[in-house]
Structure 1
Amino acid sequence: MTDIDNRPDDELGPIDYLVVEFPAGQTRLTGDAAAELVALAESNTIRVLDLMVVHKDEDGSIDVDEFDDIDDVGELAQIEATLAEVLAEQDLIDIAAAMEPGSAAAVLVWENTWAAPFALAVRRAGAQLVASGRIPTQALIASMTNASMTNEGA
C-alpha cells in the first residue's frame, strides 16, 4: 500500500467514473486498455476505487461481475488492493438502463490522486466545488477545427 491509501477522507482528490460498453462477445478490459489503467494506478495518477462488469440480457435483466469474481484479470490484479467497492445496486441499475440489451459494460470508479493536493488546498481556503463536468473530445476537436477554419478565412 502507498501513502495515499492511508489519507483521511477530506484529503481525497476528485472522484470520477466511466462506463465502457463492449461490442457483443467482448466483456473484458485487456490489452492496451488494461495496461494503461495499471500504469495510471502505479504512477499514483489515479486510485481505482471500483471496477465491475455489468451484463444486460436481451430481456433487460442484469448480472454483475465484481472484480474479485472475474477469472483471469491479468495485470489488473495489481489494482485489487485499492478497491473500495463504492458502487451501490441502484448505481448498477441506472447504468444498465443506458445499455443495449445483450451487451456488457465495464464500470470504473477512480480517485484523481494527482488533484488531491489542489483539492485539499481549496477546501482549506474555505472554498467548495460547485460544478464539474466533461467536454467530449469530439466536441473539443470540432470546436478547434471550426476556430481554425474561421481564423484562416479572416
Structure 2
Amino acid sequence: MSSESEAFDDIGPIDYLVVEYPGSHPTGEALPYLVDLVDRGLIRILDLVFVRKGEDGSVAAVDIVDLIRDMGTDDADLTVFEGATSGLLGREDIEEAGQAIGAGSTAAILLYENRWAAPFARALRRNGARLVAAGRIPVQDLVAALDSVEADVEAETGAGTGS
C-alpha cells in the first residue's frame, strides 16, 4: 500500500448538502444539531459556505458574520463555524448551488466527512473493495414510494374481494 493511500485510509465517506431557505435567512434552529454531530465525532465539517441568489439571478457567497447580522437574532451562533473551510468548495460549486435555488433565497452548502463510517470504509478498502455507486433518497421520495406501495396493496386487496 502506498503512503499516499495510507494517508487517506482513515477518512470516511464525504458527502455534501445544499439546503435552501426560500426567500428568507436561516434561523439557526438546526445548528445545535449540527454542532452535536461534530462534538460526538459522527461528522467532520470540511466546508460550510452560505450563498445568496439575488432577484436578478446573481449568486454570491455570504460571510457568516454578515449572515448573523442580517438574521437580526442572537439565537443562532454561527460563529462556531467561522473559518470552516478546507478550500475544496470553489466558485464553480457556489455557482452550481446558486442554480439550484430560487431568486431571493439563501442556501447553505455543507461538505462533511462521515467519521462514523470511517472504520467500515477502511475495512472495505483493505479488502480490495471499491465504491461503484452511492446515492441518497430524499425523504419526500421515500414517503411517495411508500404511499404508492400502500395504494397498490389496497387496490390488490380491494380488487380480490370486490367481485
User: Same fold per TM (> 0.5)?
Assistant: yes
Mapping 1:103-142, distance limit 5 Å: 103-142=105-144
Alignment-derived partner of residue 49 in structure 2: 52
1:150 and 1:118 map into 2 onto residues whose CA distance is 37
Structure 1's 69 and 83: CA in aligned 2 closer, same or farther, altered over 3 A?
A: farther
Q: Please give the TM-score of this superposition, normalised by the length of structure 2.
A: 0.75
Classify 1:81/1:44 alpha carbon distance in 2 versus 1 (closer, same or farther; 3 Å): farther
Are 1:12 and 2:14 an aligned pair?
no
Number of paired residues? Answer: 146
1:143 to 138, 145, 148: 145
Contact conserved, 2:44 with 2:113, CA < 8 A, in 1?
Answer: yes
Cα distance 1:61–1:130, how it changes in 2: closer, same or farther (>3 A)? same
Query: Is the deviation greater in 16-25 or in 105-114?
Result: 16-25
On the 8 A contact 1:38/1:76 being kept in 2, the answer is no
Change (3 A) 1:67 1:119: farther
Larger radius of gyration: 2
Matches of 1:92 and 1:125 in 2, distance apart?
Answer: 36
Separation in 2 of the partners of 1:58 and 1:118? 45
Change (3 A) 1:131 1:107: same
- Tell me, in whole angstroms, the C-alpha distance in 1 between the residues paired with 2:126 and 2:107: 38
CA contact (8 A) 2:51 2:107 kept: yes
**SS of 2:125 mapped into structure 1:** helix
Query: 1:11, 1:135 → 2: CA distance?
Result: 26
Indicate how the Cα distance of structure 1 residues 84 and 105 shifts in structure 2: closer, same or farther if over 3 A, else same: same
Give the stretch that moved more between structures: 61-70 or 71-80.
71-80
CA RMSD, aligned part only? 2.6
Say which SS state the counterpart of residue 11 (structure 1) adopts.
Answer: coil
Matched-pair identity in %: 42
